[in-house]
Structure 1
Amino acid sequence: MEDGAENIVIGTCSGCGAEPCGDHLLQGFRECDRRLEQYCREGFTGGEVTVQFLKTRNQPLTIMEITRCCVCYSRTHPTAMCLRLLDSRTCRCPICRSSQHDIGDCPDFNTMNLCRQVQLLVADRAGLPPLGKGFPWWDYLHRWMNDPVSENKVLSGFPWSEKFAKEITSREGGQHVKRLQAEFDKDFDRSVLPVDESTRTINGVYTNLWCPANVRGWVHSAGSSNQ
């Protein structure tokens, strides 16, 4: 099951009554029907039933909107907001949710420009577990900061280190992260999450990630930062 909201047609098409519906505008829902059957076999029973109106139909379609994390199977947060993201055994690439390749081999990721890659890997993950296990987000950050496109800027937040993420998920046999996730899921306020001091500032990233990985060259913008 994929993260985020997903609309699924339930039963026959209430617009024309056909099953399957031959309307070309509704062909995209055929795959959703197939997926729903798969989800039900896996034990999924939740969801919010709504209606969707199409300009070409006189009657609405019956829709079930679902959200489920592909790591812990929770319906209270999408995959990207799972604090156990690095524990996933089925979703190797959280960008396209594929189990066939890692982020580095993801076609979607590799077509992004450097700014978009850094936004996805670093800025959007500030104060959260890194997006991929063993994937060097800090290397992309270093390249971006040495590229003119960065305009000599320094980001204000960075992802957790893998070491810190593993420490959080292993506390109290996993019970600590469950409580933490429940609190975080209320409104996804990152201030309720613990802070990884090793990556809290750009100086921490330099000391704890760039140096051990032998990433050469101190970045001017980082060196001039007060962080």
Structure 2
Amino acid sequence: MSEFKDKSVLVLGGSRGIGAAIVRRFASDGANVTFTYAGSADAAKQVASETGSTAVVADSADREALIKVVRDRGPLDVLVVNAGIALVGDPLEQDPDEIDRLFRINVHAPYHAAVEAARQMPDGGRIIVIGSVNGDRMPMAGLASYALSKSALQGLARGLARDLGPRGITVNIVQPGPIDTDLNPADGPMKDMMHSFLAIKRHGRPEEVAGMVAWLSGPEAGFVTGAMHTIDGAFGA
């Protein structure tokens, strides 16, 4: 396939799980892909070797480092922001510094990366941020900061869609439910509880999320912007 032949794609957070699947999908479709990683050097090297993509170390919590990565890639056809973290626990007992770091990675980084990409992005470009169905529904305790961060992305998409729409640049949020990754394995201890909320009684696959991202990045989605695209097996229904 060559739908994205010679297109320039940057994936922030692409060494594992959903991010790695997105890198593989764009690379298989002919794109020139660069992706960032923070702590998974071996995994990043493997993905880069398999796909012919370029891996760049960058901490999404560091605003200036993140902006530099985006700027140094030059004009991007597609920006995908996948990097994100979660903290689980009683909000009365959590470290405020760790909560602030979560917001820097999950909220500040997508905003600053999207704005910086838009400075050089050609008309008709695509900005996609990986959110979560927990931006719409949080059925369990201990994840208030995470849910807040994912809800904030909805405002980002709606606002930047207005700002960038005159240039044909679309801004969308993809909201996965339970997806089979290292951090949330399909056979993990929370499987039964998560599946009890689902209409389709299984975890999703990273490749399914990557497929949605690819469609939103392609020519058929040129009129789709400022929207949330949930892929969750009806977790949030």
Flag the structure with larger Rg. Answer: 1
Q: Same fold (TM over 0.5)?
A: no
Task: Give the TM-score taking structure 1 as reference length.
Answer: 0.29
Flag the structure with higher strand content. Answer: 2
